[in-house]
Amino acid sequence: MTVMTETAGGGTATWVPPTWDEIVREHSARVYRLAYRLTGDRQDAEDLTQETFLRVFRSLSSYTPGTFEGWLHRITTNLFLDQVRRKKRIRFEAMGEDASRVQSTDDRSRPERGYEHGNLDHDVQAALDGLRPEYRAAVVLCDIEGLSYEEIAVTLGIKIGTVRSRIHRARAQLRDVLDHRRADVVR
């Protein structure tokens, strides 16, 4: 995908960025999978994936060669956390005094949950959806995407101790929420 070329006389290699098609073809499935795990919603994941690639397109000229996938993880995760903060602020401002009249809906039957049912157990995705966004981001990057604690720290821009703490708390909450499954296995 990326091309390194040598200058005449064996000098310093220069990085030639990949084409837009190469980036999308090679990374779109992985970015979408991460976006879906973070958002828990197909439409939100599609929006987040699109926003990620727009950001990549705008920032590719300033990209410093390194771990391209790590860069994509960082962009996707940061955009997710920004969207969560923005939605929370909008939701509370929009609800105002009408908050008590808002009805809760069970979204298990929503059509966009089709991907989830085929690829990630509903209980697990529901448990992930119930985590605070910063905990969800850390545990998804670690346990689903397979990033190391160091890579997560760089991706989220936090200290490694904070990564450990968030993953520990997220896993504890997931264990509590999914404890009913353990009883099913013991029987």
Using alpha carbons, list the distances in angstroms from residue 157 to 19, 35, 58, 135, 142.
Answer: 28, 18, 21, 14, 15
Please give the residue that has the higher pLDDT: either 181 or 72.
Answer: 72
| Class of the domain covering 121-187 | mainly alpha
- 153, 160 contact by CB (below 8 A): yes
Strands (E), 6-133: 14-16
Q: Domain spans of the chain?
A: 13-93, 121-187
pLDDT band of residue 14 (cuts 50, 70, 90) is confident
What is the reported pLDDT for 124?
84
Residue 11, pLDDT > 70, answer no
- pLDDT tens for 107-165 read 434 444 444 444 557 888 888 989 999 999 999 999 988 999 999 999 999 999 999 99
What is the reported pLDDT for 29?
94
Residue 10, pLDDT > 70, answer no
- pLDDT tens for 41-52 read 899 999 999 999
CATH fit for domain 13-93, picks 2.40.50.180, 3.40.50.2300, 1.10.1740.10, 3.40.640.10: 1.10.1740.10
- pLDDT tens for 124-133 read 888 898 999 9
- Cα-Cα-Cα-Cα dihedral sign, residues 61, 153, 45, 30: positive
Whole-prediction pTM value? 0.66
Mean pLDDT of the chain: 79
What is the reported pLDDT for 72?
92
Residue 2, pLDDT > 50, answer no
What is the reported pLDDT for 42?
92
